[in-house]
Structure 1
Amino acid sequence: MPVQVGGSKVAEPRARLELSPTAVSDKGRASSKKIRRRRQKAPAAPSQSPMQRLFDTSREVFLASSPGFVPPPDAVARLSGILNDLKPHDVGVDSSMPYFKHADSKGPPRVTYLHFYDCPKFSFGIFCLPKSAIIPLHNHPGMTVFSKILFGSMHLKSYDWAKSPPESHDTAIEHSDGARLAKVNTDSVFDASSETVVLYPENGGNLHCFTALTPCAVLDVMGPPYNRADGRDCAYYDESPYLTGGDEQYSWLKEVSTTFEMKGIQMPRKFSVSA
């Protein structure tokens, strides 16, 4: 430190520091450690957005997708886990949007489909239902579908085609008028706390209908998508009761023409994904 001499500050002479070869070597190692520490503290790469993570996982799960494809259980669990963690703000929706309002009191509430992505292997998007809106009973030919409610609550009823009539019933499983026997898979209310529902080409509730009890949003990932040219268009059905006298529930389902239409909207670029 400086010393006082006659009112002036004079710096002390600096002592000469002799470094031994060992000290020089230690200094070099210390510098090397600092460099390594600096490298280790380099900024981390930005994390993926939830939608990008959903896209990447869906692409992996449906890589071998074709009509009738069923992902292996570990892949189903992985994609379901990502969907279970999604929140409305991750995908840019909330109940204040006009898609969830019943604007025309003269007709039934209109369903809007927010389209995110589709390719021959899979597609995903969000169904926006105002209160009391209905997506009629329909099928998913040769498809595996993951459905997650993001907010709101809805009644879900689903069926699978019966392979045989119930025990003690000798009726055929098809009518001459084209109606087919189907077994009820699900008849319950679901909300945002419910885990992802998965349906498969032959089971899990391949035919289903939604009835919105409140404004609600449902994200669907499906593979492969509908393909009219490939003979896998969406079909709609009317249901009529089939009395069994047992605990299991069945209905006759008959394909019908319908005027049901959804409004399709492409999601904004900020929620787009990189293929």
Structure 2
Amino acid sequence: MPRDAKPPLIQKIADQAHTTFASADGKARPDAQAELVRLAGEIRASDLRIAAPKTKSSKPSRHSPPVTYMHICQTDAFSMGVFLLRRGASIPLHDHPGMDGILKVLYGKVNIRSFDKLDRPADGECDGLFDPPLAPGAHKDALWRSTLRSTGEFSEESGPCVLTPLQDNLHQIRAVGGPAAFLDILAPPYDPGDGRDCHYFRVLEAAARSDEAQAWLLEVPQPESFSCGAEPYPGPEVSNKDILS
């Protein structure tokens, strides 16, 4: 890149993500993260040379995946890409173990429902709460107590959504009223070999609690109705060399 050339915004975001998350202890620097959120809030679909489908009423082929992903870049510290949701598509409730994240809507509108995972129930704690009852042993291996952190709709005019290892770490994302797309930054990236695999959950209706908005989440296999394909990223190239320099 010529010395006097201005780097694209997405390169600035990648550089700032590295500054934020590439620390020896793996923890985000609060001041750097605030600047990263600010930069992410400025990104628009046009900056990445993508645009919403022109005809919202058009339906994709039944063989097309409901969600696709455009990979932008990845380092040991973070990954960045764009998720595109078809009309009516939803990314099921899932987690980001030990990860920070930033989500910025680029076009369309999404509903995001976020939970905080608390802990597993004690033996016998869930007896009689569910109808029909859970399978034997399920409460020990696949059930989590959680708190509904937030739910709301977000558009390109909204600021970025931020998740941490402890807050808003589980979420479900659903396209509202048409197709939608969002920039997604995760730090560190998913890595099953290092304990950061994606897990899916189903919300179970439990006995009402008057003291807190608590819910029970059952870990489930990836829903058969959900799949994620890949699309080429058409935007400005992000240089890992520039990130690491």
Q: TM-score w.r.t. structure 2 length?
A: 0.81
The residue aligned with 2:60 is 103
Q: Deviation per CA, 1:181-230: give whole Å up to 9, x if none.
A: 11001111111121111101112x10101010021111011110000112
Q: Which has the higher contact order (CA 8 A, sep 6+)?
A: 2
Cα distance in 2 for residues equivalent to 1:263 and 1:126:
12
Letter in 2 for 1:192: E
2-structure distance, mates of 1:97, 1:55: 29
1:160-182 deviations in Å (ceiling 9; x for gaps): 112598xxxx947x923521111
Question: What is residue 262 of structure 1 aligned with on the other side?
Answer: 228
1:200 aligned partner: 164
Unaligned runs of 5+ in 2: 127-137, 241-245
Partner residue of 1:182 out of 146, 165, 181: 146
Do the aligned residues in 2 keep the contact of 1:110 with 1:133 (CA within 8 Å)?
yes
Instruction: Say yes or no: does 1:274 pair with 2:230.
Output: no
Alpha carbons 1:65, 1:224 under 8 Å: kept: no
Residues 192, 116 of structure 1: alpha-carbon distance in 2 compared, 3 angstrom cutoff: same
Structure with higher Rg: it is 1
Question: What RMSD in Å do the two structures reach over aligned CA positions?
Answer: 2.7
CA distance in 2, matches of 1:109, 1:141: 25
Partner amino acid for 1:46? A
Aligned to 1:150: 106
Alignment of 1:237-248 (within 5 A): 237-246=201-210, 248=212
Residues 1:84 and 2:41 aligned together: yes
Identical amino acids, percent of aligned pairs:
31
- Asked if the contact 1:65–1:122 (Cα under 8 Å) also holds between the matched residues in 2, the reply is no
Q: Secondary structure at the match of 2:32?
A: helix
Q: In the alignment, what sits opposite 1:50?
A: 9
- SS at 2:111 equivalent: strand
Contact 1:102 1:109 in 2 (8 A): no
Q: Give the letter aligned to residue 71 of structure 1.
A: A
Report whether the alignment pairs 1:120 with 2:63. Answer: no
Deviation of 1:244 (Å): 3.4
Deviations 1:25-52 (A, max 9, x none): xxxxxxxxxxxxxxxxxxx822111111
**When the two structures are aligned, how many residues end up with a matched partner?**
222
Secondary structure at the counterpart of residue 205 of structure 2: strand
